[in-house]
Amino acid sequence: MVRLDDGHLVPVELKLSTQSVTTPYNNHVIQVAAYCLILEDYSEQPPTHGILRYADREFTIDYTPTLRKKVIRLLEEMARCNEQQAPPLQKQRVAKCRACTFQAICPIGSGK
């Protein structure tokens, strides 16, 4: 995270194993937006944007009211999930599941 001269906090997310993309991945955008939402509690000036840095380029992610609403909606969906009501995710990359600490208890990732 960096603080600009005007006091705004800017989250910077590094995804240095990602390269050669022309637009930022949606899940990375949501991650940056989630950081912006968290930073609202730590500064009187809400964040205006975040930075998503890949191996060979970076993107400025504008923290718009629409993106903020989307993050809040996703958080609300996550809060409603439990063992009886799993998240709607139907598939995930095998490599991600094998590296995930929740694989043993995850109905989607277990057995991959």
Angle between helices 65-80 and 26-39 in degrees, nearest 10: 90
Task: Kindly state the tokens that stand for 99.
Answer: 């590296």
Q: Helices marked H in the chain — which ranges?
A: 26-39, 65-80, 94-98
Q: In terms of CB distance, is 30 or 97 closer to ligand SF4?
A: 97
Can you tell me which of 24, 47, 50, 109 binds ligand SF4, judged by CB under 6 A? 109
Q: In terms of CB distance, is 55 or 89 closer to ligand SF4?
A: 89
When asked if residue 97 is in the footprint of ligand SF4 (CB under 6 A), the reply is yes
When asked if residue 77 is in the footprint of ligand SF4 (CB under 6 A), the reply is no
When asked if residue 92 is in the footprint of ligand SF4 (CB under 6 A), the reply is yes
Pairing of strands 49-54, 12-15: parallel
Least distance (Å) between residue 107 CB and ligand SF4: 8
R_g (Cα) of the chain, nearest Å: 16
Q: Helices marked H in 26-64 — which ranges?
A: 26-39
When asked if residue 31 is in the footprint of ligand SF4 (CB under 6 A), the reply is no
What residue ranges bind ligand SF4 (CB under 6 A)?
A: 89, 92, 96-97, 100, 102-103, 106, 108-109
